[in-house]
């Protein structure tokens, strides 16, 4: 059985304008890989109702899981929730448990639980809450879509609250073979390894520093044994050509 798949939807004009640099895609990519969930695509889109609707539907149909970040705060530009409700053809309701959590969070502070903040208790009908240990305002899950805040610390705490319940897969074994050889020189060897081990993904990433260069060849497979064999075969061939090669193996 192949691993479950996922898509990420980052919602926010501030990312597209360059004002804010996204940190959520890279963080989620690491977490999903560790869970054996295969991230297939990530999109950064604008705070635009129809754009959100279209993209949520597209990714929700294409992948087992969708993770969104951004647009669930108290202000007028936070339109993620109304758009996602529309994407699934349901109403937005005031969720009593979410309201109770927010009320408790603001009690004893001098912050008023005003109408804007009450809006953070509004979620699509039928959705289930995702805990927010940082600032109370919950995220939620609707169908296969997990809706989270854009602030990285909040997104991370939300994700860790439900990630144990995701259906994971086999964490791929990822072996990096560091070769003291240019990418163009090693291309033939890589092609041969890729042909010989079709179940192993073979990627190459050249690097440069002053006076040195090399290529990191990354062998990835859910078939741990074959990944190991491919790495051995690669190392042997690189060394036979008179170049150095070192290994970094996430299974060891």
Which parts of this chain interact with a copy of itself (CB under 8 A)? 13-22, 25-27, 29-33, 39-47, 51, 73-77, 111-112, 114-117, 119-120, 151, 172, 174, 182-188, 190-191, 194, 201-206, 218, 220
Q: How far is the CB of 65 from a copy of itself (least distance, A)?
A: 14
Between 125 and 205, CB nearer to a copy of itself: 205
Between 29 and 90, CB nearer to a copy of itself: 29
Between 49 and 90, CB nearer to a copy of itself: 49
Between 126 and 249, CB nearer to a copy of itself: 249
Between 89 and 209, CB nearer to a copy of itself: 209
Q: How far is the CB of 17 from a copy of itself (least distance, A)?
A: 5
3-class secondary structure per residue, the chain: CCCCEEEEEEECHHHHCCCCCCCHHHHHHHHHHHHCCEEEEEEEECCCHHHHHHHHHHHHHHCCEEEEECCCCCCCCCCHHHHHHHHCCCCEEECHHHHHHHHHHHCCCCCCCCHHHHHHHEEECCCEEECCCCCCCCEEEECCEEEECCCHHHHHHHHHHHHHHCCCCCCCEEEEEEECCCHHHHHHHHHHHHHHCCCCEEEEEEEEECCEEEEEEEEEECCHHHHHHHHHHHHHHHHHCCCCEEEEECCC
Q: How far is the CB of 217 from a copy of itself (least distance, A)?
A: 9
Name the residue among 112, 93, 52, 102 with its Cα closest to residue 73.
Answer: 102
Q: How far is the CB of 155 from a copy of itself (least distance, A)?
A: 14
Q: How far is the CB of 126 from a copy of itself (least distance, A)?
A: 26
Between 90 and 250, CB nearer to a copy of itself: 250
Q: How far is the CB of 71 from a copy of itself (least distance, A)?
A: 10
Asked whether the beta carbons of 74 and 13 are under 8 A apart, the reply is: no
């Amino acid at each position: 059985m192949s691993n479950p798949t996922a898509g990420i939807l980052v919602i926010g004009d501030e990312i597209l304008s360059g004002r804010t640099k996204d940190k959520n895609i890279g963080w989620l990519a690491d977490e999903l890989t560790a869970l054996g969930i295969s991230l297939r695509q990530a999109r950064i889109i604008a705070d635009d109702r129809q754009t959100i609707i279209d993209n949520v539907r597209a990714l929700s149909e294409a992948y087992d899981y969708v993770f969104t970040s951004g647009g669930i705060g108290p202000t007028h530009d936070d339109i993620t929730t109304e758009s996602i409700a529309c994407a699934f053809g349901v109403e937005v309701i005031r969720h009593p448990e979410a309201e109770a959590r927010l009320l408790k969070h603001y009690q004893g502070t001098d912050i008023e639980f005003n109408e804007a903040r009450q809006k953070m208790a509004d979620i699509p009908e039928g959705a289930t809450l995702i805990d927010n240990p940082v600032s109370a305002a919950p995220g939620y899950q609707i169908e296969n879509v997990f809706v989270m805040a854009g602030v990285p610390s909040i997104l991370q705490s939300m994700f860790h609250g439900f990630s144990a319940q995701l259906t994971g897969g086999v964490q791929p074994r990822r072996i990096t073979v560091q070769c003291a050889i240019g990418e163009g020189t090693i291309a033939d060897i890589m092609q041969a390894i890729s042909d010989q081990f079709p179940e192993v993904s073979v990627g190459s990433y050249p690097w440069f520093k002053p006076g040195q260069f090399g290529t990191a060849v990354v062998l990835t497979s859910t078939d741990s044994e074959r990944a190991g064999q491919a790495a051995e075969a690669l190392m042997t061939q690189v060394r036979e050509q008179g170049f150095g090669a070192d290994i970094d193996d996430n299974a060891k």
